[in-house]
Chains A and B, each alone.
Chain A
Amino acid sequence: MKTLSTTATENVSALNHVSMNRGRSIWPRIRTYLLQNFLPPLVILCLLLGVWELLCSGTGATLPPPSQVISETWELILDPFYDNGGNDVGMGWQILASLERVAVGYSFAVIVGVALGVLVGQSTWAMRGLDPVFQVLRTVPPLAWLPISLAGFQDSNPSAIFVIFITAIWPIIINTSVGIRNIPEDYRNVARVLRLNGLEYFYKIMLPAAAPYIFSGLRIGVGLSWLAIVAAEMLIGGVGIGFFIWDAWNASLISDIILALVYVGLVGFFLDRLVAMLGNIVTRGTSAS
Chain B
Amino acid sequence: MSSHYLSIENVEKTFEKGSVRSHVLSNINLHIDQGEYISIIGHSGCGKSTVLNIVAGLIEQSSGVVILDRKEVNAPGPDRALVFQNHSLLPWLTVYENVALAVNKVAGRSKTSVERHEWVLYNLELVNMLHALHKRPSEISGGMKQRVGIARALAMQPKVLLLDEPFGALDALTRAHLQDEVMRIHSNLKNTVMMITHDVDEAVLLSDRIVMMTNGPSASIGEILSIDLPRPRDRIALADSPRYNHYRQEVLRFLYEKQRKLEHISPKHPPSQARSAQSLPGGGSGSSPSDAAAGVPVLQKVSGAS
Contacts and interface: CB of A to CB of B under 8 A. Distances in A.
Interface stretch (A17-25, A65-73, A107-115, A192-200): A192-200
B160 to A, nearest CB: 12
Interface string B72-85: 00011110111010
A182 B260 CA distance: 38
B101 A187 contact: no
B82 A189 contact: yes
B56 interface: yes
Interface stretch (A31-39, A55-63, A280-288): A280-288
B194 to A, nearest CB: 14
Given A187-B88, A286-B92, A200 B105 contact: yes
Nearest to A189: B58
B84 A186 contact: yes
B92 A195 contact: no
Nearest to A196: B105
Interface string B91-110: 11000000001100110000
B58 A195 contact: no
Contacts of A283: 92
B137 interface: yes
A187 B98 CA distance: 12
B91 A285 contact: yes
A273 interface: no
A194 B92 contact: no
Contacts of A205: 90
A187 B90 contact: yes
Interface string B32-75: 00000000000000000000000011100000000000000001
How many B residues touch the partner, as a band?
20 to 34
B90 A193 contact: no
B105 A195 contact: yes
Given A285-B136, A285-B138, A194 B90 contact: no
B86 interface: yes
A216 B136 CA distance: 22
A186 B106 CA distance: 19
A257 to B, nearest CB: 46
Most buried by A among B76, B77, B78: B76
Contacts, number: 62
Given A194-B78, A195-B105, A288 B91 contact: yes
B90 A288 contact: no
Interface in A107-145: none
A286 B94 CA distance: 11
Interface in A239-287: 283-287
Contacts of A196: 105
B91 A286 contact: yes
Contacts of B58: 189, 192-193
Nearest to A284: B92
A193 B101 contact: no
A222 to B, nearest CB: 23
Given A194-B78, A195-B77, A289 B91 contact: yes
B256 to A, nearest CB: 32
Given A194-B78, A194-B102, A189 B92 contact: no
A124 to B, nearest CB: 16
Contact of B77 (A186, A189, A193, A208): A193
A209 B90 CA distance: 8
A278 to B, nearest CB: 15
Interface string A163-205: 0000000000000000000001011011011111000100011
Contacts of A200: 105
A193 B91 contact: no
B285 to A, nearest CB: 28
Given A192-B76, A194-B78, A186 B88 contact: yes
A286 B77 CA distance: 26
A208 B91 CA distance: 9
B101 A194 contact: yes
B77 to A, nearest CB: 6
Given A205-B90, A283-B92, A193 B136 contact: no
23 contacts: A184-B88, A187-B88, A187-B90, A189-B82, A189-B84, A189-B88, A190-B90, A193-B76, A193-B77, A193-B80, A193-B156, A194-B156, A195-B77, A205-B90, A208-B90, A208-B92, A284-B92, A285-B137, A286-B91, A287-B91, A288-B138, A289-B91, A289-B137
Given A194-B78, A195-B105, 12 more contacts: A184-B88, A187-B88, A189-B88, A192-B75, A193-B58, A193-B76, A193-B78, A208-B90, A209-B92, A287-B91, A289-B91, A289-B138
